[in-house]
Structure 1
Amino acid sequence: MNKDIKLQDLGLKDYKETWDYQETLFKGIVDAKIKNRQENTNFKTNNYFLFVEHPHVYTLGKSGDMSNLLLNEQQLTQKDATFYKINRGGDITYHGPGQIVGYPILDLDNFFTDIHKYLRFLEEVIILTLNDYGIQSGRSDGETGVWLDAGTPFARKICAMGVRASRWVTMHGFALNINADLGYFDNIIPCGIRGKAVTSLHVELGVEKVSMEEVKEKLLKHFSILFEAKFF
């Protein structure tokens, strides 16, 4: 079992380019697993973790509803945004500057083969990181992601999640709002959930800007502890 994870911070990068890169890494791990099985070998499989910020983009998961996008093509162009239907779970979400997107591309055979546990661990990484800032957060029944004041009329989502897994290899991941322009969420029904707000860490802390690098360090610390992993 290889619990070393190669960390790559891609900076600000186009969504489609990043998706294609994820697919390349994902396929490399899957192909290695197939080869191990066919040849009865046991070579180590790689794990990756990508940090990235995307230009304004809306993505719709494979089970999502197009009606949750409230813009037409012309309006998307006016807002300097793009749109993609993609192969993760979940409905529609927004990515943009001021948001930390994390894509763990892991062979779960190196950790544990339980997708439910994997999602709960991803949520826990976010919950523990927000707790470092004095922000109490948690889960909302039946709704993946991380919420503030879940179960109350003031419920608001701070982190969306959607993953794909095949042969216990994961891709896609989480999107945590740090200094996000929340106005872009007004153009969708986030995650297909009506009547619930979205928030960002800088809003909750009442500051103009939060250090993205500091948040990333905290995310990696909690991830490495929960997954018993080492980044390099």
Structure 2
Amino acid sequence: MAQLKRLEGLADYESTWQAMKTFTENRLPDTENQIWQVEHPPVYTLGQAGKPEHVLNPGKIPVVRCNRGGQVTYHGPGQVVIYPLINLHRANMFVKEYVTALEDAIIHTLNDYGISQACRKDGAPGVYVPMENGELAKIAALGVKVSRGCTYHGLAINVDMDLSPFDGINPCGYAQLKTVDMKTVGVQASWQEVADKVSGYLMDVFA
């Protein structure tokens, strides 16, 4: 099983990251898995191998270099962030299978809201939706860290947020990549409802 934990309010990114890291470093083989629901204040995060040139115009938004995989992304109010702290050995999963499970949970969640064309994109982790011009726009991002077979960091789903900060970066390292939220594609949903729905799918996977 996994324990669900909601971090109240807008949780500071760096202190949340440190808390995940500490939990992972101190967990024992039988420590219960946890799934954290988080909403962050505005912040750009640059992955461990992220290239600073993908940060184009951060303005007053802080940029934090962290130890997850991937390039640069943005977190802010109105975005559901889920951090699964999972023992992959107990789940009998390799990292690739774990990433697929995260994407599946996002796609199932979006499908439940009528976003039926949510899909993957080859070579670009995350979940995308087709726009009217046929291009794919990113609606959810992934960034994972695995230490001693245990995961932290996780996924982010854009629900109802100010999308303009994405213009200050090459999202996930892709120039001109359009980013959307659920509201953009016509879905009105509460933050908590979306957080609980995607968490529920993950709880089922890691039960």
Q: Per the shorter chain, which TM-score range?
A: over 0.9
Map of 2:90 onto structure 1: 110
For 2:165 and 2:181, how far apart are their aligned partners in 1?
A: 12
Q: Which residue of 1 aligns with 2:12?
A: 14
What's the TM-score, normalizing by structure 2? 0.93
Matching residue of 2:52: 66
CA shift, 1:153, in A, is 4.1
User: Residue type matched to 2:113 in 1?
Assistant: Y
Pair 1:51-2:32 in alignment: no
Counterparts in 2 of 1:48-197, with a 5 A limit?
Answer: 48-71=34-57, 75-76=59-60, 81-136=61-116, 137-149=118-130, 153-197=134-178
- Structure 2 residue runs of 5 or longer lacking an equivalent are none
Name the CA distance, whole Å, in 2 between partners of 1:174 and 1:113: 17
Aligned residue identity for 1:171: Y
Task: Note the C-alpha offset of 1:6.
Answer: 1.6
Aligned partner letter, 2:36: L
Secondary structure in 1 aligned to 2:5?
Answer: strand
How many angstroms does 1:112 deviate by?
1.6
Q: Is the 8 A contact 1:113 1:168 kept in 2?
A: no
Q: Which has the larger radius of gyration?
A: 1
- The reply on whether 1:219 has 2:198 as its aligned counterpart is yes
For residues 153-196 of structure 1, the C-alpha deviation after alignment (integer angstroms, 9 at most, x for no partner) is 42100001010102210000001100111101000000001222
Asked whether the 8 Å contact 1:138–1:146 carries over to 2, the reply is yes
Between the aligned partners of 2:198 and 2:172, the Cα distance in structure 1 is: 23
Q: Which amino acid aligns with 1:61?
A: G
* Contact 2:82-2:199 at 8 Å conserved across structures: no
What's the Cα RMSD here? 1.5
Q: Where has structure 1 moved over 3 Å in runs of 4 or more?
A: none
Hey, what's the Cα distance between the residues in 2 that align with 1:96 and 1:165?
Answer: 24
Cα displacement (A) at 1:149:
2.1
Code of the residue aligned with 1:6 in structure 2: it is Q
How many percent of aligned residue pairs carry the same amino acid?
39
1:189-208 alignment, distance < 5 Å: 189-205=170-186, 207=188
2:125 is paired with a residue whose SS is strand
Matched residue count: 204
Query: What secondary structure, in the 3-state scheme, does the structure 2 residue paired with 1:140 have?
Result: coil
CA distance in 2, matches of 1:16, 1:71: 21
Deviates more, 1:45-54 or 1:134-143: 45-54
- Shift of residue 221, structure 1, vs aligned partner: 2.2
Deviation at 1:206, TM superposition (A): 5.5
SS in 2 for 1:71: coil
Measure the CA separation in 2 of the matches of 1:112 and 1:128: 22
Task: State how far apart, in whole Å, the 2-side matches of 1:190 and 1:211 are.
Answer: 24
Q: Is the 8 A contact 1:5 1:49 kept in 2?
A: yes
